[in-house]
């Protein structure tokens, strides 16, 4: 590939003959709908297949957390184990060791044993980092995934209402989107979480304790709504003014059916294209908020909270910070890679047409 | 023209083969061994329909194809240089913009939008021959004057968006002439332009070619343009040369069936003189060359009572701007339009881009947006007084066939779903009846009913237009508005679709409002013609009257500008001054003048100016 | 032109007003949020809470509180902290501003220069190894949380390799004012700059590369090539100039947000007492006046950056000059 003009061979061989040769009698091949074409495109892209498998593998690994804690590490990663001792090379070693730094007053948790127990060492409370890493991964992925769905749902609602209704409703919603956009995301997220985490959250019959995962999901899910709602609105407007919607109106199709059958399925691609990228963004956001201690709250773990635990141990036990950091990096890279392929396949902008 | 190669050829192409990289490292060949010569001062036309490989050939000659995904083999010799042996750096240093230059189809997108026209012209002048800034500027002004851009010195500092399409194409030509090339390749240079502007650009090219003594390779699909411009003609089909000869020979005595079929499908202005009713295109079998002459339309319109009556139709759009997005101007897209269509009649609405003909079509079914007023009566129903629900039901009676069939089919619905949907929405019967009708209509428009399970992208352009026709027919409409419905189709496909429309009219008695810029097609298909200019009808009357005795000066200009596919009837005037179409944007205070029409002969009205 | 600028200005004021009201509502009207209880402390008696409420004027109607706060912030300038009583908000903010500005401005120069280089180089070598390498790196840069990159940088430069020749010059974490010593200012900021810039180099490099490649599909690029321009000139003058416009828009937004305090993570990791950290700390202790001031400060920069970007676009892209 290079930057030069690349002629689409399809365009040059079309002399009013349909692209695929019509099956001559017999069993016709099933028609390829846009969705199945997209799936086929994904399946034929090595980058998409590999990154998809990678993501699946990470999710599966994290799902094994309880089994790992129970059968391999034989520990409860949510209880502090300051006085625990483990066997290494036949000797019993305390998990919290005398500090070798400074005056030797404090204690330093044990480093990686590379064995079944305390594989990645312990944190400041003597908990098994490897087990917490897996549990934390569960939470990080769950929060990011749920927040992605929430964000897509809200953005779809706002974008579709604004784009389809137009007029005053659109003006109000668009200005609101712009305003929230002008608000730095991290400050907004921190503000929301501080207010909500301040004490437990009571709103009518809903009661959420501050350690609930719902709060970070809601916060992370909401802050990126403008980023998705704006392009969704643009897409809805484009489709509403498209030739085929005009044709549907000229045919006398009911407005509700036009919205449901003609506009929404075509907006869906925009939302799907956003999903992996948003998921990646949410993983980073979750870790940042938890790092600032305004995300996931104790005793729950996430990759972000482990990074926060690791902050104090950065120079003595860097592995506590390195493991979740690398996990985040790999997961986000895989998601972005997958997202890139997905966008190339689904985004009409990348489809060349004259 | 008696001597086809007056001098040694400037450009010699031998056995040119072009392939593109396909899936799994295969190569798809799209040009199979093309050979041609172009001599200085000579024009050779490369003609073909879409997919013939003509544009690819022209890009290959400039080596503008991506070397990573394309392969060019054979030999291209230009002025003593073997182009396929040159390095990319040598192409830049010796060929492109020096010995050979090129102009393209889309003047609207071919100029860089963020540099002034002057910058781009001066760049073309100086990139091969360094010169002082003031000298370059002077040379640029001279070039702009040479291509007849009015007020050249001042317009040099304008950006492309301030120029109309025709003016931009003039700038492109000026840029191509900057280095006094030996060869000018023109790739569909007038296809995107209005017919009057096309005439001007063609005559300008002819004139400049004579002056500069250039060889010209003219790539086009338009047989009228070929007849007007070319000394010799090369006809291509799916990457092969099927016929080659002097333009006279090719048009007078085509040897190959394909060429004959192609020429038979080309509507020629004036060929309908003396024909009383619309006439189908003759059909020629490409394989055997056997010709079936076109039959005239058997069904006569019923002029006893109008079916659709439009009175004083006005459509305006506000232009907003400034601090509070207030109205600052108004587009008078349609002004005081009145006409009637009768059962089984075709009324054609002709005009150039921006004249309001498409807006008229949409305003009739109240889909134009903006503010519309006036009266549209369909039988006894006044459409402009209906509420949304009744209007929706009423839309059954008037259907539309769009210009771009692919865009007007929902990509996520199968053809079956798309056809059945309107039938069910209007509660015309149960699902089984809808399916049966859809299958029957598919058959009527010449497609297999099994294709109902397919998606729009699996069809070719002509098939998609047939699908749109079938979809419109699902509702048994009384009137069909065909908005540039055949304009984007290849000539042979265009002829087939026109024939299909005539078949449908003969069978069902549907009335057509046929909106088009293509006067030659209009002449073939219509009973009456209305000519639109700047939102108003300037002339309306029976087809023969309007075409043979045009009364309004604009109608005459329009008819004169059409290139006729007959080299014996070359008629484009040389040294035409450029005419820019006026846009219909007016101040808010603008009051449209009241118009009077004179009835020259019965039913033939012309605006009194 | 004047009308356009006035309209911009009016819009700026409206957006900032909206943001201030939004912030105020988040802290006062969110269910479950009771600022008085937060200020009074975890186990305060109800009387204490009531006293605090009265003391801080939190028992007045919301719009009165809002008005009073705005008046103190902009007119009298004597807004004081709820938490560190007596601490004046405006001077505190003024002291933090140069730290953030130094950090962000330096990083911005780095990321614009390197981001542009990355994008152009990758586009020019599309599909070959420099492109693959640069895009791989960019993908990594985008995937790493900025605070984690900062931690890893600290781990290397402050701890593991600090005593080697490579990093022994790295000063301890913290900020040195430019007026005190320009050299030490720069040395202290080298790694914060690199850390912050890393992410954006990746983002901008990818964006510019995509933009250039898309621009190469335009008809006007074909015109430029047919004119006989060299490949380099087509790339730099014709393709990059068009593709850089969205990058400039993005830059304006990012710069504004970061100066306004979104660099909080970098500031925290490198111990820089900038606006972001100030805001974060105010948020943690729910110091309402400080929160309001810093949020308004942040939104001011965002809105200003947007206005400047609009102006810049008009300069770069003549199509936007129409009307």
Here the ipTM equals: 0.85
pLDDT band, very low/low/confident/very high, at B577 (cuts 50, 70, 90):
low
Q: Are residues C96 and C72 in the same domain?
A: no
- In total, the C-beta contacts within 8 angstroms joining chain A to chain B are 159
Q: Which chain A residues have a beta carbon less than 8 Å from that of B415?
A: none
Among candidates A4, A33, A254 on the partner chain, residue whose Cβ is nearest the Cβ of B455: A33
Question: Which residues of chain B neighbour C227 with C-beta distances below 8 Å?
Answer: 96-97, 101, 123-124, 127, 175
Segments making up each domain of chain B, as ranges: 9-255, 256-381+487-609, 398-476
- Answer for the pair B60, B19: CB distance below 8 angstroms, yes or no: no
Q: Which residue of A has its CA nearest to B22?
A: A9
Topology at the third CATH level for domain B256-381+487-609? Rossmann fold (3.40.50)
**Is C86 at the interface with chain B, CB within 8 A?**
no
- Report the gap between the CA of C18 and the closest CA in chain B (Å): 19
Give the per-residue pLDDT at A120: 82
User: B228-259 pLDDT, tens per residue?
Assistant: 899 999 999 988 999 999 999 999 888 888 88
Q: How far apart are CA A335 and CA A281, in angstroms?
A: 10
Provide the number of structural domains found in chain C: 2
Is residue C82 in a domain? no
- Answer yes or no: do A292 and C18 touch at CB < 8 A: no
* Angle at B380 (CA atoms; ends B376, B384), nearest 5 degrees: 30
Q: Which of B114, B159, B161 sits opposite C242 (nearest CB)?
A: B114
Contacts of A284 in chain C (CB under 8 A): 143, 145
Contact at CB, C227 and B96, closer than 8 angstroms: yes
The answer regarding whether domain B9-255 maps to CATH 3.40.50.300 reads yes
Show which subunits contact B, needing at least 3 CB pairs below 8 angstroms: A, C
More confident residue, B131 or A102: B131
CA A279, A280, A281, A283 torsion-angle sign:
positive
Contact C286 A199 (CB under 8 A): no
C-beta of residue C294 within 8 angstroms of C-beta of residue C261: yes
* Dist CA C275 CA B459 (whole Å): 60
CA distances from B470 to B391, B399, B487, B504 (A): 22, 11, 18, 10
Q: Which residues of C touch A293 (CB under 8 A)?
A: 284
Out of C48, C76, C104, pick the residue that ends a domain: C76
CA C47 to centroid of chain Cα atoms: 42
Q: Is A12 close to B237, i.e. CB distance below 8 A?
A: no
Which chain C residue lies closest to A281 (C-alpha atoms)?
A: C143
Based on the fold, state whether residues C168 and C260 are members of the same structural domain.
yes
Other C-beta atoms lying within 10 Å of the C-beta of residue C262:
24
User: Which of B50-54, B149-153, B435-439, C78-82 is least confident?
Assistant: C78-82
List chains adjacent to chain C, taking adjacency as at least 3 C-beta pairs closer than 8 Å.
A, B
Residues C37 and C159 reside in one and the same domain: no
What does the pLDDT average to over B430-435?
95
Pairing of β B9-21 and β B70-78: antiparallel
Q: Which residues of C touch A7 (CB under 8 A)?
A: none
Burial of B355 (0-12, 13-18, 19+ CB in 10 A): buried
CA distance B321 to chain C (A): 8
Which residue from B minimizes the CA distance to A9?
B20
**What is the predicted pLDDT for the residue at A19?**
47
Phi, psi for residue A88 in degrees, rounded to 5: -130, 125
Is B457 part of the contact surface with chain A (CB cutoff 8 Å)? yes
Using the 8-state DSSP alphabet, how is residue C228 labeled?
T
**Contact check, Cβ <8 Å, A5/B64:** yes
C30 CB neighbours in chain A (<8 A) are 195-196
Cβ contact C147–A284 (<8 Å): no
Which of C45, C76, C107 represents a domain boundary (last residue)? C76
Domain match, C67 and C202 both: no
Interface contact C231-B92, CB threshold 8 A: yes
Query: How far is it, in rounded angstroms, from Cα A239 to Cα A249?
Result: 13
Residue with tokens 């391999």: A72
Nearest residue on chain C to A326, judged by CA atoms? C144
Instruction: Check which CATH number belongs to the domain holding C251 and give it.
Output: 1.10.3720.10
pLDDT (tens digit, 9 = 90+) per residue, B94-119?
899 889 999 998 888 999 998 999 99
Let me know whether C161 and C70 are in one domain.
Answer: no
- Asked whether the beta carbons of residue C142 and residue A332 sit closer than 8 angstroms, the reply is yes
Q: Are residues C69 and C96 in the same domain?
A: no
CB contact under 8 A, B70 and A257: no
**For position B543, what pLDDT does the model report?**
93
Judged against a pLDDT cut of 70, whether residue B1 lies above it is answered with no
SS3 (DSSP) at B218: strand
Q: By the CB < 8 Å criterion, does C218 face chain B?
A: yes
pLDDT at B77 > cutoff 60: yes
User: Does the distance separating the beta carbons of A203 and C265 come in below 8 Å?
Assistant: no
Asked whether residue C145 falls in the same domain as residue C63, the answer is no
- Residue-level pLDDT at A26: 41
Chain C residues closer than 8 Å to B127 by CB: 227-230, 233
pLDDT given for residue A10 in this prediction: 37
pLDDT of residue C165: 82
Chain C residue numbers with beta carbons less than 8 Å from the beta carbon of B114 are 241-242, 316-319
Q: What is the mean pLDDT of residues B150-173?
A: 89
All residues of chain B having their beta carbon less than 8 Å from the beta carbon of residue C231 are 88, 92
Domains and CATH numbers, chain A: 49-67+128-349 (1.10.3720.10)
From chain C, the residues in CB contact with A184 under 8 A are 257, 260-262, 298, 302
Contact C216 A5 (CB under 8 A): yes
Q: Could you give phi then psi for residue A321, rounded to 5 degrees?
A: -85, -35
Please give the Cα distance from A180 to C299 (Å, whole number): 10
Alpha carbon A322 to its chain centroid, in Å, reads: 20
Q: Which residue has the tokens 């490989």?
A: B53
Query: Tens digit of pLDDT for each residue in B384-395?
Result: 888 989 999 899
CA distance B368 to chain A (A): 10
Q: Which of B400, B410, B423, B479 would best serve as a mutation to test chain A binding (most A beta carbons within 10 A)?
A: B410
Q: Is B396 helix (H, G, I), strand (E, B) or coil?
A: coil
Find residues 79-138 of chain A whose CB sits inside 8 Å of chain C: none
Do both C239 and C153 map to the same domain? yes
pLDDT at B328: 83
Q: Sort out which chain B residues have CB atoms less than 8 A from C233's CB and list them.
A: 127
CB of B395 within 8 Å of a chain A CB? The answer is yes
Flag if B426 and A252 touch (Cβ within 8 Å): yes
Average pLDDT over residues B422-428: 94
* Residue ranges in chain C modelled with pLDDT below 70: 1-4, 29-34, 38, 41-42, 320-323
| A12 touches B at CB < 8 Å | yes
Contact criterion met (CB < 8 Å) for B98 and C6: no
- Please check whether residue A7 touches B, CB under 8 A: yes
Burial of B151 (0-12, 13-18, 19+ CB in 10 A): exposed
Q: Which has the minimum average pLDDT: A85-89, A322-326, B44-48, B504-508? A: A85-89
Q: Which residues of A touch B453 (CB under 8 A)?
A: 28, 30-31
Q: Distance of CA A141 to CAs A283, A301, A304, C99, C147, Å?
A: 7, 12, 11, 35, 19
| C264 and C293 assigned to the same domain | yes
Decide if C43 is inside a domain.
yes
Q: Does the beta-carbon distance from B471 to A251 stay under 8 Å?
A: yes
Sites in chain A below the pLDDT cut of 70: 1-32, 81, 89, 98-106, 182, 197-211, 348-354
The answer to whether the beta carbons of residues A190 and A292 sit under 8 Å apart is yes
- Between B522 and A104, name the one with better pLDDT: B522
Nearest to C3 among B95, B159, B322 (CB): B322
What is the chain A residue with the closest CA to B450?
Answer: A28
Residues of C in contact with B68 (CB under 8 A): 127
The answer to whether C78 contacts chain B (CB < 8 Å) is: no
> How many CB atoms neighbour CB B246 within 10 A?
17
**Per-residue model confidence (pLDDT) at position A352:** 32
A206 touches chain C (CB under 8 A): no
Q: Which among A4, A291, A332 has the least Cβ separation from residue C147? A: A291
Query: Which residues of B521-573 form beta strands (DSSP E)?
Result: 528-533, 536-542
Q: Are residues C123 and C264 in the same domain?
A: yes
Decide if B114 and C230 are in contact by the 8 Å CB cutoff.
no
C69 with C160, same domain: the answer is no
Q: pLDDT band for position B6 (50/70/90)?
A: low
B20 vs A11: CB contact, 8 Å cut-off?
A: no
Asked if residue C173 belongs to a domain, the reply is yes
Domain of residue C39, residue span: 19-76
Q: Are residues C182 and C296 in the same domain?
A: yes
Cα–Cα distance for residue pair A110/B281, rounded to 1 Å: 90
| Other C-beta atoms lying within 10 Å of the C-beta of residue B371 | 11
């Amino acid at each position: 590939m290079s930057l030069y003009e690349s002629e689409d061979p399809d365009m040059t061989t079309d002399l009013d003959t349909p692209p695929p040769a019509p099956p001559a009698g017999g069993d016709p091949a099933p028609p390829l709908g846009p969705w199945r074409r997209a799936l086929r495109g994904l399946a034929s892209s090595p980058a998409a297949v590999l990154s998809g498998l990678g993501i699946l593998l990470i999710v599966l690994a994290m799902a094994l957390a309880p089994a790992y804690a129970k059968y391999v590490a034989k520990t409860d990663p949510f209880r502090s184990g300051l006085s625990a001792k483990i066997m290494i090379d036949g000797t019993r070693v305390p998990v919290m060791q005398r500090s070798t730094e400074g005056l030797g007053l404090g204690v330093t948790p044990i480093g990686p044993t590379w064995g079944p127990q305390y594989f990645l060492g312990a944190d400041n409370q003597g908990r098994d980092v490897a087990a917490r890493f897996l549990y934390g991964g569960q939470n990080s992925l769950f929060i990011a995934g749920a927040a992605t769905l929430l964000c897509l749902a809200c953005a779809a609602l706002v974008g579709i209402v604004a784009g389809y209704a137009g007029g005053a409703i659109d003006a109000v919603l668009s200005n609101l989107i712009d305003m929230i956009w002008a608000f730095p995301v991290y400050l907004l997220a921190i503000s929301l979480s501080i207010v909500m985490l301040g004490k437990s959250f009571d709103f009518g019959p809903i009661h959420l304790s501050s350690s609930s995962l719902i709060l970070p999901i809601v916060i992370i899910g909401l802050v990126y709504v403008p980023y998705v709602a704006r392009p969704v609105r643009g897409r809805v407007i484009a489709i509403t003014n498209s030739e085929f919607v005009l044709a549907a109106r000229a045919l006398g199709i009911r407005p509700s059916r036009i919205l449901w059958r003609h506009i929404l399925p075509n907006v869906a691609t925009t939302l799907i294209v956003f999903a992996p990228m948003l998921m990646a963004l949410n993983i980073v956001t979750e870790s940042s908020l938890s790092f600032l201690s305004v995300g996931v709250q104790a005793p729950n773990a996430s990759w972000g909270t482990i990074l926060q635990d690791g902050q104090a141990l950065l120079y003595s036990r860097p592995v506590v910070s390195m493991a979740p950091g690398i996990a985040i990096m790999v997961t986000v890279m895989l998601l972005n890679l997958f997202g890139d392929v997905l966008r190339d396949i689904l985004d009409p902008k990348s489809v060349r047409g004259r | 023209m008696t001597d086809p190669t007056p001098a040694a050829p400037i450009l010699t192409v031998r056995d040119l083969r072009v392939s593109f990289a396909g899936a799994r490292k295969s190569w798809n060949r799209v040009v199979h061994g093309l050979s041609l010569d172009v001599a200085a001062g000579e024009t050779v036309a490369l003609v073909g329909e879409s997919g013939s490989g003509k544009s690819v050939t022209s890009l290959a000659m400039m080596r503008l194809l991506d070397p990573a995904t394309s392969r060019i083999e054979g030999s291209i010799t230009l002025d003593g240089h073997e182009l396929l042996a040159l390095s990319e750096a040598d192409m830049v240093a010796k060929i492109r913009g020096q010995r050979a230059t090129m102009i393209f189809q889309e003047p609207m997108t071919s100029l860089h939008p963020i540099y002034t026209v002057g910058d781009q012209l001066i760049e073309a002048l100086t990139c091969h021959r360094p010169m002082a800034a003031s000298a370059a500027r002077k040379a640029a002004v001279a070039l702009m004057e040479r291509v007849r851009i009015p007020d050249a010195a001042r317009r040099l500092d304008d950006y492309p968006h301030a120029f109309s399409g025709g003016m931009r194409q003039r700038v492109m030509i000026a840029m191509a002439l900057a280095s006094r090339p030996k060869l000018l390749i023109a790739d569909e240079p007038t296809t995107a332009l209005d017919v009057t502007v096309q005439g001007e650009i063609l005559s300008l090219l002819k004139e400049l070619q004579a002056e500069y003594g250039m060889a010209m390779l003219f790539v086009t699909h338009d047989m009228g343009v070929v007849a007007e411009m070319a000394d010799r003609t090369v006809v291509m089909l799916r990457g092969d040369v099927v016929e080659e000869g002097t333009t006279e020979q090719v048009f007078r005595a085509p040897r190959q069936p394909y060429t004959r079929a192609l020429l038979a499908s080309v509507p020629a202005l004036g060929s309908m003189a003396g024909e009383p009713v619309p006439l189908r295109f003759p059909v020629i079998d490409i394989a055997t060359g056997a010709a079936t002459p076109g039959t005239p339309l058997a069904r006569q319109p019923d002029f006893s009572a109008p079916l659709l009556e439009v009175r004083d139709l006005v459509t305006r759009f506000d232009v907003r701007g400034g601090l509070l997005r207030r109205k600052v101007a108004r587009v008078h897209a349609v002004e005081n339009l009145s006409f009637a269509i009768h059962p089984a009649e075709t009324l054609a609405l002709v005009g150039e881009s921006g004249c309001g003909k498409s807006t008229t079509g949409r305003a009739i079914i109240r889909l134009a947006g903006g503010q519309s007023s006036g009266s549209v009566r369909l039988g006894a129903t006044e459409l402009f007084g209906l509420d949304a629900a009744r209007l929706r039901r009423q839309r059954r009676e008037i259907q539309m066939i769009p210009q771009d069939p692919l865009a007007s089919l929902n990509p996520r619905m199968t053809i079956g779903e798309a056809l059945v949907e309107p039938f069910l929405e209007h509660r015309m019967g149960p699902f089984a009846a809808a399916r049966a009708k859809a299958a029957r209509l598919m058959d009527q428009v010449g497609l297999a009913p099994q294709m109902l399970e397919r998606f729009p992208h699996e069809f070719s352009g002509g098939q998609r237009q047939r699908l749109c026709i079938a979809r419109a027919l699902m509702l048994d409409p009384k009137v069909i508005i065909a908005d540039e419905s055949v304009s984007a189709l290849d000539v042979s496909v265009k002829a087939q679709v026109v024939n299909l429309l005539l078949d449908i009219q003969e069978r069902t008695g549907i009335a057509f409002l046929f909106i088009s810029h293509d006067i030659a097609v209009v002449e073939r298909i219509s009973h009456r013609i209305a000519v639109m200019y700047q939102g108003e009808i300037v002339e309306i009357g029976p087809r023969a009257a309007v075409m043979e005795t045009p009364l309004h000066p604009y109608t005459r200009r329009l008819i004169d500008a059409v290139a006729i596919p007959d080299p014996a009837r070359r008629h484009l005037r040389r040294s035409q001054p450029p005419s820019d179409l006026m846009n219909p944007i007016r101040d808010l205070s603008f009051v449209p003048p009241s118009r009077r029409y004179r009835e020259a002969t019965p039913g033939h009205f012309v605006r009194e100016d | 032109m004047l009308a356009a600028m006035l309209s911009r200005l009016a819009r700026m004021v409206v957006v900032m007003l909206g943001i201030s009201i939004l912030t105020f509502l988040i802290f006062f009207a969110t269910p479950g949020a009771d600022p008085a209880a937060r200020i009074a402390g975890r186990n305060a008696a109800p009387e204490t809470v009531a006293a605090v409420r009265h003391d801080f004027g939190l028992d007045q109607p919301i719009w009165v509180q809002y008005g009073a706060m705005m008046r103190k912030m902009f007119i009298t300038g004597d807004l004081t902290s709820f938490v560190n009583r007596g601490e004046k908000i405006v001077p505190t903010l003024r002291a933090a501003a140069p730290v953030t500005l130094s950090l962000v401005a330096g990083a911005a120069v780095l990321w614009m220069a390197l981001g542009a280089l990355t994008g152009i180089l990758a586009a020019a070598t599309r599909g070959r190894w420099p492109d693959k390498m640069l895009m791989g790196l960019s993908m990594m840069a985008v995937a790493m949380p900025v605070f984690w990159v900062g931690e890893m940088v600290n781990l290397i430069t402050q701890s593991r390799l600090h005593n080697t020749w490579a990093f022994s010059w790295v000063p301890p974490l913290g900020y040195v004012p430019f007026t005190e010593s320009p050299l030490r200012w720069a040395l202290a900021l080298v790694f914060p700059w690199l850390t912050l810039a890393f992410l954006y180099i990746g983002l901008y490099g990818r964006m510019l590369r995509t933009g250039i490649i898309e621009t190469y599909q335009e008809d006007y690029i074909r015109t430029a090539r047919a004119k006989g321009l060299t490949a380099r000139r087509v790339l730099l003058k014709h393709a990059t100039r068009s593709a850089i416009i969205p990058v400039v828009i993005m830059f304006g937004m990012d710069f504004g947000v970061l100066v306004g305090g979104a660099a909080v993570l970098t500031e925290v990791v490198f111990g820089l007492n900038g606006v972001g950290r100030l805001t974060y700390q105010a948020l943690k202790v729910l110091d309402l006046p400080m929160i309001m001031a810093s949020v308004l400060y942040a939104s001011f920069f965002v809105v200003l950056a947007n206005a400047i970007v609009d102006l810049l676009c008009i300069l770069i892209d003549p199509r936007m000059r129409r009307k």
